[in-house]
Each structure stands twice: as C-alpha cells, then as structure tokens.
C-alpha cells in the first residue's frame, strides 16, 4: 500500500507548491476512519482511496481533488459526517465528498425510468463542479481494475454500467486513455469468450511482429530527423475492445484487419505536424479515405490530431496520429488537462465543457421526458463525429449518421422546425441523406412548415429529437385546443349561456384540470364532453332539447335515421347550421381532422363529424354506412360544415370501385381518364372477378364532388368499363 510520503511526492512532482499539511491530514483521517475495514479481495479498504488518489495524480489534479479522493468513502462507509469534514477540511472539500457519496448510490442497470433519473442526478452533480466527475471516473477505474474479487452477478452488473455510462462519459470529456481502459476492463467481463480470443491472437501477432514495430519507429524517426523535425514516435497495439468493435462494424474476421498497430508521432509545434505529414506521404503511399485533420477542425471534446494511414515498411498498413505534446495531453486527459481552478470551479472553456453545459441545460426543459433524455444523451455519447459546413463556412459538428434534419437543428431550433428540404454540396437531396465529412449543407425553409413526427425516427441527435417532439406536442396541443374551443363556443351558444375564460377558470377545477388550456384541449381530444363543461360552469343547466323536441321528418331539415333517435346536425347551408357548425378546411388546417377511412369525404357532400378521443374529428359523408357504429354514442357527434378557401384549394380523399374488361391497356386507359381530369391516384387495388373482368378499387384525391362526378361520368363512357361506383364505406 502506498505510503503517506509517496503520495505527497507524486503531487509535488507536478505541483511543487502542494499543500502537504492538507494531504497528510486527509491521509491520516481516511486511514483512521476506515481502520480495519477490508475489501472483497481481502486488501485493507484504505488501499482503494489511495489508488484513486494516485490515479488523480497521474491526471495532475489539484490538492483538493486528491484530498477528496482519500476521503470519498468516509461518509458512506464510516461514522464520519459532513459537519466533521467541513470543520477539518473546509466546506469545499466537504461538498465534494458529499456529492460523491450521493453518486455512489446511483445504479444505472435498473429499469429505464430509474436509470434515467439516476443519470439526471449524475449530470446535475457534475455540472456544479466537474471535479466530481473526474474523481468518480478514477473511483470507477480502480474498482474495475479490482473487479475480479466480486461475485459473477455483481461483476456483470458493474461492467455493464461502466460500458453504458462511465466509459462513454470519459470519452465525451476527452479522456481517451481512461475510456479505452474502462471499455477493455468491461469487455473482459461482459464478453469473456471474445475478449480471450482476441487477446490470444493479439499476443501471437505481437510475437510475430516484435521486430516490426521498432523497425517502423526507427524509419519514421530517421525520416523526420533528416527534415530537422524533432519527434518522438511511439508504436502501440490497438485494444481488444476497439478491435472487437471494428470486426462487428465491418463484418470482418480478425485476420482481415490490416491496421491493428498504430503509431503516434509527437512533435514540438503545430507547424511540425503538417511538415511531418508531408514527409510521411512523400515517403509512403497513403491509403485513400483514411485522412482526417482534427487540428484544423477539433472534435467537440477538444481532441486535436492528424490521422492518416500509409502502406509502410514491409507493405504493412500503418495508422499514424500526428500531434504536439500539448495536444497529446488533451487527447489523453481531456478536461483534466485544463485543470486550472479558481474558487472550486474550472475556469477554462472547452468543447467538453460546452457539451456538459448544454446537456445540463436540457434538463431544465419542463416538457422533458427523463427516458427520452437518457436515450438521446446516450446517442451523443457513443457516436463519432462528422464535420459539415453552412453556406457561409461555419463548421457544424454532428454525430456520425446525422442527416440534414440534425444539421438544421444544430444551426438553430427555428431552422430545424421550418426545414422543408436541403441542398448538399449544391444538389437537392432527401432529408434522410446521411451527411459525410466536408459536406456543405443549405437548409431550405418555409414558415408554414411543422416538423412531422416521423422526423424523430430519422434524426440522430438528442437536440433534434427533443425539438421535434416539442414541436409536435405544441402543434397537437394547438390543434386540439382550437377544436376544443370551437366545440365549447358552439355548445354554449346553443345553450344560450355566455362563455369566457373566467367562467372556464371556475369550471376547470371541478373537472380535474388546473389550467384553462388543459380543459379546452381535453374537450378537443374527446376526453371531456362539452355538456360536462356546461354543467360545471352552470350547475342549473339542463339540456331539454331531446325531451321537448319531436322527431322531425326528412323534409324539415334534419336528417332522420330510422334507428330510434335524431342526429344532431343540420343540412349545410341553413343559417343555424352555419352559425353553430365547425368549419372543415382540410387535414392541413388548424384542427385535427381526418376523413372516413372507407371512402373519404369531399366538398359538396353533406357531412357529419365524429369526435374520436385522442385523434380529433373524423369527417363522414351523411350516406356512409359506417355511421351506424356511432348510433349509441350521441356525445361524439359534431355539427361540421365545409369552409373552402378559393385562394388555397386542396384535394380531398375519395374512393371508387370499377369493373373493367381484362385486356391489355385497360388500366392505362383508366389512369389516363383520371389524369386528364386533374385527379390524383393514391392507391390501386386489383381483384380478379372472372376470366373476362377485373374489379378495381382506386383511392383518389379530388377537388370537390363535381370533380369526382366528372371523373366517374367519363370513366363510364369508356367501352372497357362495365360499372363505376363511389365507395362510401
């Protein structure tokens, strides 16, 4: 076990002004509190805090962080208290220890709801002071290094949690070395067969090529020295988990991998990186498509380096990473490389900080679903990046697999919400196109656009998915709110009772709603009847129409159905019906409207609306036999009327059934008639009736009833047509 003076010496190597008294006091206090406690391996428990502190000294963290590492389990596992630690070490250290104590209780292998809540707590804790995350990662790293002493079930659970949460978090804040080790340690327990096989093959390969790595290092060094470039070349074998991922992603065997060995070239200055790249490419052939410049375009976690692959000595593919010493520190230590503290908080801004801040900001969204947040954040944790450009040259970093939809939302939420198309490198391309490095993307916008819900399945970034869900919810809320208000206005008019927001505000609590908007939307969704609202607003209200009114006959303006009741809608065109009915403009209007699934409805039809809970109004022609299903649900019937804007005509759905001769070209003649009359075919279904005839069902889009009748009439005139009928359910 590390001695007290050894730890102090480790800190003083990078911080000669280290507070020895603080470190000594934390060491003695931690050892005293943990006393004779032991770990599952049988080692003294205090060896764990010591090793965590040692990991932090490798990251060159401040004295307070190292002291917290020595104390981080005292509140959880001993009789130490927060007040006692505050008194001995100050509130800053006491607060960090308490934060880590709370994080120790988090479990990310619970059911999704609990996992999402725990992840939220983790991010909120680290947002106050990122040192909490650094110490927690060091704690997890040492636990993973000593995981072998745990029972099998607990090993698997901890390894799964590490692979799902902590390893990608380490990568996202730029700590690549720690991420790789956490992934490999987890891989060992999650998939031991694959881990052992790959490890064995790597050992065999290392033995076979034991002379090749020094040879390539020497060749590179000599080439760079001849050009007066001071460089350090380090060869390394890729990690088992990295190799496993590449085999899975590319669907290849171990023998087919050609870049298992990689080399890092560390130079003094940024200019030397590009000079070294030129020398390497002039000496050996580069592999096309394997060059990336993360110096001019850093990753969001501040990673900077040049990547290239060449066919080196012995015709061996060699992967090179060229960077400066400063870049290398950031590559290995990420946020920890920026460890400049003032008043307990990191003062230097970086891409990793930006990601953490934006992620935590998203937690403040009142419409946030915790499970959605966890899902979207995991997507961002695991994805590699592509870099695209706006037409003005601004760089937009996106996860690999991102689409123009993600690009639009990355620029601004309004840009994403109003996106209707995209140009990629000057060409109009589908919105589901996967973006590549270097693409220039121009978003085509329309103020009338509302993001369709299907976009959520195309987008890959958490920001885009959250914005699409939010826009969809707002649009639906607006539609159902608009419908609910119209239903209430007409109901109150028929009852001859005044309607106002103040009246609704008094009625809302009686119906279980805190806000007027929620009450109105519930009426629009069909969850609450207008009659219930009337009675809540006016307790003395009684609907006497059904009891006092005799059933009218068909000539009186009401449509009677000989099924024992009167349908509550008027013939379109009558003054009272126009006054109290809901206007129907089309499916793209401000109301949630759909048309009869069997046959649709078109302007010119006498129509009725059926309120479907959660879906809005379904519009049926009055002659539709489907209306029989709703005979015993009078509360769902709505007065509706057509409200067509002559300046903005839209097509409406209809359906026709034809019987035609079974001969070549018959379908083409039918389609030609429809096209000549400006109709649009949505779907065709053909059924063989007999040897000489076909039955055909065609879903159409037409302007109105006259338009539909004209198409039917011209089809009937064709010699190949035996019959044409409109389908109404």
pLDDT value at position 568? 38
| H/E run at residue 675 | helix 666-676
Q: How far apart are CA 710 and CA 716, in angstroms?
A: 10
What is the Cα–Cα distance from 116 to 136, expressed in whole angstroms? 18
Examine the pLDDT at 523 and tell me if it is beyond 80. yes
The pLDDT of residue 555:
31
The predicted pLDDT at position 557 comes to 33
Among 43-47, 297-301, 372-376, the least confident range: 372-376
Q: Which of 20, 43, 58, 77 is catalytic?
A: 77
Lowest mean pLDDT among 570-579, 629-638, 667-676: 570-579
Reported as a pLDDT band with limits 50, 70 and 90, residue 567 is very low
Which pLDDT does position 333 carry in this prediction?
78
Name the residue with tokens 């290094």: 145
pLDDT at 343 over 60: no
Higher pLDDT, 479 or 508: 508
Q: What are phi and psi of 444, to 5 degrees?
A: -90, 130
Between 347 and 214, where is the model more confident?
214
- What are 595's strand-pairing partners? 619
348 band by pLDDT with thresholds 50, 70 and 90: very low
CA angle, residues 144, 146, 150, in degrees to nearest 5: 95
Question: Once rounded to an integer, what is the mean pLDDT over residues 625-649?
Answer: 80
pLDDT higher than 50, residue 94: yes
What confidence category does residue 25 fall into, taking pLDDT thresholds of 50, 70 and 90?
very high
CA distances from 508 to 291, 484, 497, 523, 600 (A): 63, 14, 17, 11, 36
Q: Tokens standing for 184?
A: 């490999």
Positive or negative CA dihedral for 681, 686, 689, 693? positive
Residue 217 annotated as catalytic? no
Which of the pair, 240 or 356, is modelled with greater confidence? 240
20 is catalytic: no
Residues in the chain: 729
User: Residue 380 pLDDT more than 70?
Assistant: no
For the chain, domains (ranges, CATH) are 4-194 (1.10.3210.10), 195-337 (3.30.460.10), 472-543 (no CATH), 547-642 (no CATH), 652-726 (3.30.70.260)
pTM over 0.75, yes/no: no
Active-site residue (options: 19, 20, 58, 76): 76
Query: Band of the pLDDT at 87, cuts 50, 70, 90?
Result: very high
What is residue 543's predicted lDDT score, i.e. its pLDDT?
62
Q: Vertex 124, ends 94 and 105: CA angle to 5°?
A: 65
* Among the ranges given (16-20, 53-57, 359-363), the one the predictor scored with the smallest mean pLDDT: 359-363
Is a pLDDT exceeding 80 seen at residue 648?
Answer: no
Lowest mean pLDDT among 148-152, 367-371, 393-397: 367-371
**Per-residue pLDDT tens for 444-484?**
999 878 898 889 889 988 788 888 988 887 777 777 787 78
What confidence score (pLDDT) does residue 374 get?
63
- Of residues 261 and 503, the one with the higher pLDDT is 503
Task: Please provide residue 596's backbone torsions phi and psi, each rounded to the nearest 5 degrees.
Answer: -45, 125
Highest mean pLDDT (candidates 478-482, 601-605, 631-635): 601-605
Q: Is the pLDDT of residue 664 over 80?
A: yes
How far from the centroid of its chain's Cα atoms is residue 192's Cα? 31
pLDDT at 305 over 90: yes
Evaluate if residue 603 carries a pLDDT over 80.
yes
Q: What pLDDT, in 10s, does the model give residues 580-589?
A: 577 776 655 5
pLDDT above 70: percentage of residues in the chain: 83
pLDDT score, position 463? 83
Residues 6+ apart with CB under 8 A from 42: 149
Enter the DSSP assignment of 252: -
The answer to whether residues 78 and 50 touch, using CB atoms and an 8 Å cutoff, is no
Q: What percent of the chain has pLDDT over 90?
A: 29
- Written as six digits, the tokens of 137 are 């990662």
Does pLDDT of 703 surpass 50? yes
Residues 6 or more apart from 709 whose CB is under 8 A from it?
A: none
Least confident of 291-300, 310-319, 396-405: 310-319
Q: What is the rounded average pLDDT of the residues 708-712?
A: 91
Q: Decide if pLDDT at 410 tops 70.
A: yes
**For 315, which DSSP code?**
G
Helical residues (DSSP H) of 129-226, grouped into ranges: 131-145, 152-161, 167-172, 176-190, 192-208, 212-226
């Amino acid at each position: 076990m590390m001695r007290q003076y050894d730890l102090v010496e480790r800190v003083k190597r990078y911080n000669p002004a280290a507070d020895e008294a603080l470190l000594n006091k934390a060491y003695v206090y931690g050892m005293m509190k943990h006393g004779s406690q032991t770990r599952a391996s049988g080692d003294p428990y205090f060896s764990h805090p010591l090793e965590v502190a040692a990991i932090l000294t490798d990251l060159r963290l401040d004295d307070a962080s190292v002291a917290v590492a020595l104390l981080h389990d005292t509140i959880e596992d001993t009789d130490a208290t927060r007040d006692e630690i505050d008194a001995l070490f100050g509130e800053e250290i006491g607060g960090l220890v308490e934060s880590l104590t709370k994080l120790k209780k988090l479990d990310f292998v619970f059911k999704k709801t609990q996992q999402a809540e725990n992840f939220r707590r983790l991010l909120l804790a680290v947002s106050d002071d990122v040192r909490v995350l650094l110490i927690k990662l060091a704690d997890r790293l040492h636990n993973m290094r000593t995981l072998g002493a745990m029972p099998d079930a607990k090993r698997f659970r901890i390894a799964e949690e590490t692979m799902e949460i902590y390893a990608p978090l380490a990568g996202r804040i730029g700590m690549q070395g720690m991420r790789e080790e956490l992934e490999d340690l987890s891989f060992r327990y999650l998939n031991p067969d694959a881990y052992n096989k790959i490890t064995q093959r790597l050992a065999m390969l290392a033995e076979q090529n034991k002379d090749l790595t020094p040879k390539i290092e020497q060749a590179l060094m000599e080439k760079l020295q001849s050009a007066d470039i001071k460089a350090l070349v380090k060869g390394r074998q890729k990690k088992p988990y990295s190799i496993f991922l590449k085999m899975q992603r590319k669907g290849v065997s171990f023998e087919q991998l050609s870049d298992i060995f990689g080399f890092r070239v560390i130079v003094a200055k940024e200019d030397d990186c590009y000079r070294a790249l030129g020398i390497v490419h002039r000496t050996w052939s580069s592999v096309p498509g394997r060059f990336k410049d993360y110096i001019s375009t850093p990753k969001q976690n501040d990673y900077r380096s040049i990547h290239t692959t060449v066919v080196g000595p012995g015709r061996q593919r060699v992967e090179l990473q060229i960077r400066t010493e400063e870049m290398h520190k950031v590559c290995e230590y990420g946020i920890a490389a920026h460890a400049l503290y003032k008043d307990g908080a990191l003062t230097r801004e970086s891409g990793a900080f930006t990601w953490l801040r934006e992620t935590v900001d998203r937690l403040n969204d009142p419409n946030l679903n915790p499970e959605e947040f966890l899902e979207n954040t995991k997507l961002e944790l695991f994805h590699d990046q592509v870099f695209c450009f706006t037409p003005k040259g601004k760089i937009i970093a996106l996860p690999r697999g991102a689409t123009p939809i993600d690009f639009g939302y990355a620029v601004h939420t309004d840009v994403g919400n109003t996106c209707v198309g995209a140009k990629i490198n000057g060409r109009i391309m589908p919105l589901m196109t996967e973006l590549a490095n270097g693409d220039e993307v121009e978003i085509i916008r329309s103020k009338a656009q509302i993001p369709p819900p299907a976009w959520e399945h195309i987008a890959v970034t958490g920001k885009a998915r959250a914005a699409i869900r939010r826009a969809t919810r707002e649009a639906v809320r607006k539609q159902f709110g608009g419908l609910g208000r119209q239903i209430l206005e007409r109901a109150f008019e028929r009852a001859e009772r005044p309607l106002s927001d103040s009246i609704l505000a008094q009625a809302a609590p009686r119906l279980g709603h805190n806000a007027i908007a929620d009450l109105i939307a519930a009426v629009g969704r069909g969850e609450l009847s207008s009659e219930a609202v009337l009675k809540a607003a006016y307790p003395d209200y009684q609907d006497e129409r059904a009891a006092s009114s005799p059933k009218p006959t068909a000539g009186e303006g009401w449509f009677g159905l000989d099924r024992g009741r009167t349908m509550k809608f008027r013939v379109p065109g009558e003054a009272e019906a126009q006054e109290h009915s809901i206007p129907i403009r089309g499916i793209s209007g401000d109301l949630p409207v759909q048309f009869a699934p069997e046959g649709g409805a078109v302007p010119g039809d006498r129509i009725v609306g059926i309120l479907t809970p959660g879906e809005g109004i379904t519009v049926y022609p009055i002659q539709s036999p489907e209306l029989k299903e709703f005979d015993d649900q009078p509360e769902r019937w709505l007065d509706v009327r057509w409200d067509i804007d002559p300046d903005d005509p839209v097509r409406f759905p209809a359906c026709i059934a034809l019987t035609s001769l079974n001969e070549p070209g018959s379908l083409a003649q039918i389609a030609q008639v429809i096209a000549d009359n400006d109709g649009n075919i949505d779907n065709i279904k053909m059924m063989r009736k007999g040897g000489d005839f076909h039955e055909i069902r065609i879903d159409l889009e037409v302007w109105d009833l006259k338009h539909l009748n004209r198409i039917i009439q011209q089809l009937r005139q064709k010699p190949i047509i035996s019959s044409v009928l409109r389908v109404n359910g």
